[in-house]
Chain A
Amino acid sequence: MDLYRAHVLVCGGTGCTSSGSNELIKRFEEQIAKHGLDKEVKVVRTGCFGLCEAGPVVIVYPEGTFYSRIKVEDVDTIVAEHLLKGRIAQHLVYKEKEEHEDAHLSLDDIDFYRDQRRVALRNCGVIDPENIDEYIAFDGYQALAKVLTEMSPEDVINEMIKSGLRGRGGGGFPTGTKWKFAAASKADQKYIICNADEGDPGAFMDRSILEGDPHSVIEAMAIGGYAIGASEGYVYVRAEYPIAVKRLQLAIDQAREYGLLGKNIFGTGFDFDMYIRLGAGAFVCGEETALMRSIEGKRGEPTPKPPFPAVRGLFDKPSNINNVETYANIPQIILKGADWFTSIGTEKSPGTKVFALGGKINNTGLVEVPMGTPLRDIIYKIGGGIPGGKAFKAVQTGGPSGGCIPADLLDTPIEYDTLTAIGSMMGSGGMIVMDEDNCMVDIARFFLDFTVDESCGKCTPCRIGTKRMLEILERITEGKGEEGDIEKLEALATNIKSTALCGLGQTAPNPVLSTLKYFRSEYEAHIKEKRCPAHHCQKLLNYEITDKCRGCTACARVCPVNAITGNVKEMHTIDTTKCIKCGSCMEKCRFGAIVKN
């Protein structure tokens, strides 16, 4: 094996690839060859480093120098200075704050990483996901070997139950118990399935794991297959994730080649192989019964439970289904033991959880923290707070099934049960921060719009109920809200929650209920005063020209309905009865003279 004195790690996650990391890799290889360093320095395309905000990200080892927002032309500098002369290119190094002029930050010095604990993401941004040898060098497939050679299926299940690992897809059902049910079913064929249909908007941890560490999922599925007695596995991935699909397929091929999938694995007589199935853009397929119908090549409509998948699942055979992040934890639990795992996190929710931080926050990206970490730490310490000096308003967790959490609950420790208690849910781990400019009624409308679009239409409460809720919310945001709308929303929400067929419908009203609970005054302002406190809802805005106006006439000329009048060099006025609130005048004004109320 070749030894190198330095490694250049370039992030090849979707975020950094979108901002041009492939061109960086090409340029690094060219420049390194040009300086004759190709025997000394190795360029590695890794999975996601997490700090997408700073992308594209490059880390140079052995120093661990963290370069951020690198452009192709910066590569020449890094190669000529850092790799050739050993001088860190200070001006390209990631800076947390402007005042950190000369800071030489390596990963562990950065606030974003300091309080994180990486279990599921342990290999993401560290290894080359397209090379099985790198995974093996980081203890890869040792857990599978241990399970097959030293443990009985019952031992594996008991270890999983003892670890207390709960489903990271959002439901939080104990994984070991799920495996026990599937193992108890008798059948000639069973299946183990990985749910990688990550549909929650703003959640991309599963994609990052598949892109950055696909073998951890393959290994865990083989372990699960052994535990429940399944010889075949399926991974159901969103078609919107082309990089993840490509790397997972490559990983499966490599594992087959190494005999880690296929017949008689490790000479133990255990057979296991797995296949990828692509989704086709249906959110409801994240629901387990719908997902299995989709793998069968049918419309992805949920079916009533019972029968549970453990009894009758895919192709009518007993099946076990877990989420990507759940699987990514399993090899570590087997290797280090359940006691190690329960030493992290809280009593009821052991381990860590990965969150995708997004929205109005300084450090957008993926973070992994021990369960029980307060929301405030994630948003302010790791996330770096709200940009532009704006005030925090709410954080949305759990996607379309979750809710909005207000500022006074920011000290809530993150666990499955605490989040449910305050009207939200863990969900798959999307965490979208909103500031004072976001209207909470509009956010509720946004999520209902999503659910209405994605409802499969099989059961009436979801198909018609969510549509009625959306219509009411649309009226409210358009200034046509009526007395009694809030009560109607609440009544509909309660009925839908208790009568819908699957998880999608049962949780669809949550965004409305949680915003009603914590931001009721915003609903009331929309309905009673026809006013949007966040100045977001266009139809409720009033544009006004202040005395900063110089009479340049730019606004009057751009107004599509001639609502603005005034003489040259004199203050203009807007006729609010004519104004269609398009905002063109405000965009055009160079003096900041137009305000909206």
Chain B
Amino acid sequence: MSDRNEMFEKLAKVIQDHKEQKGALMPVLQEAQNIFGCVSEDVQKVIAEGLGVTLSEVYGVATFYSQFSLQPKGEYVCGVCLGTACYVKGSQAVLDKLCEELEIQPGDTTKDGKFTVQATRCLGACGLAPVMMINDDVFGRLTPAEIPSILEKYKAM
């Protein structure tokens, strides 16, 4: 678990850097999520102690915003845009196909920890609708039929 110790060291530095700042909790949670991949309870406790706020306050903020995750996500996070422009161009069918192929529901992670499926808010790439992102890769003008071959590439990685 030396990796995790390293992560907590990083977190301690982040807390130190932000401690004097007004409204530090959000930026600290954001950086913690970058470091750990999620903000689990032990991480929240450290943040609460470090910033001198209650754990309930940290938990309240962490659960309010959809970008903070309490559980780790899969290696590849597949986000299908369900913004209006993508929706009217059929992104629901793309999301359904993705869930069918991976046999999970939106918001869930596959048992092997490889894929997480999410319905995301507008990504602002409306010109490419319907759009899906897998980590930082963008796939535009999608049809459900393209999903299996796209997933194959990531399964092989």
Instruction: Tell whether A18 pairs with B26 under 8 Å between CB atoms, given A201-B121, A359-B89, A430-B84.
Output: no
Instruction: Tell whether A359 pairs with B140 under 8 Å between CB atoms, given A15-B127, A202-B122, A365-B127.
Output: no
20 pairs, CB–CB < 8 Å, chain A vs chain B = A14-B124, A18-B140, A19-B128, A55-B128, A201-B82, A202-B84, A204-B124, A204-B126, A278-B26, A280-B26, A280-B65, A296-B22, A298-B23, A358-B85, A358-B127, A359-B85, A360-B89, A364-B126, A399-B84, A434-B88
Residue of B nearest to A356 (CB): B126
In the complex, chain A residues whose CB is within 8 Å of the CB of B85: 201-202, 358-359, 364, 430, 432
> In this assembly, does A426 line the interface, its C-beta being within 8 Å of a C-beta of chain B?
no
- A359 and B88 form a contact (CB under 8 A): yes
- B129 and A358 form a contact (CB under 8 A): yes
The 4 A-B residue pairs whose C-beta atoms are closest, nearest first, are A52-B127, A358-B85, A280-B65, A201-B83
How far is the CB of A390 from the nearest CB of chain B, in Å? 12
How far is the CB of A201 from the nearest CB of chain B, in Å? 3
> In this assembly, does A326 line the interface, its C-beta being within 8 Å of a C-beta of chain B?
no
- B126 and A300 form a contact (CB under 8 A): no
How far is the CB of B82 from the nearest CB of chain A, in Å? 8
> In this assembly, does A200 line the interface, its C-beta being within 8 Å of a C-beta of chain B?
yes
- B60 and A201 form a contact (CB under 8 A): no
> In this assembly, does B30 line the interface, its C-beta being within 8 Å of a C-beta of chain A?
yes
In the complex, chain B residues whose CB is within 8 Å of the CB of A297: 22-27, 61
A204–B23 Cα distance when bound, in Å, is: 27
- A295 and B68 form a contact (CB under 8 A): no
A298–B29 Cα distance when bound, in Å, is: 11
Tell me which of B60, B89, B122 has the highest count of chain A C-beta atoms within 10 A of its own C-beta. B122
What 0/1 pattern do residues 1 to 43 of A give for CB contact below 8 A with B? Answer: 0000000000000110011000000000000000000000000
How far is the CB of B88 from the nearest CB of chain A, in Å? 5
- B84 and A432 form a contact (CB under 8 A): yes
In the complex, chain A residues whose CB is within 8 Å of the CB of B126: 15, 52, 202, 204, 356, 358-359, 364
A386-423 residues with Cβ-Cβ distance < 8 A to B are 396, 399
B100-157 residues with Cβ-Cβ distance < 8 A to A are 120-129, 131, 138, 140
- B124 and A282 form a contact (CB under 8 A): no
> In this assembly, does A590 line the interface, its C-beta being within 8 Å of a C-beta of chain B?
no
In the complex, chain A residues whose CB is within 8 Å of the CB of B82: 201
- B67 and A280 form a contact (CB under 8 A): yes
A240–B83 Cα distance when bound, in Å, is: 13
- A15 and B65 form a contact (CB under 8 A): no
A207–B128 Cα distance when bound, in Å, is: 16
- B88 and A240 form a contact (CB under 8 A): no
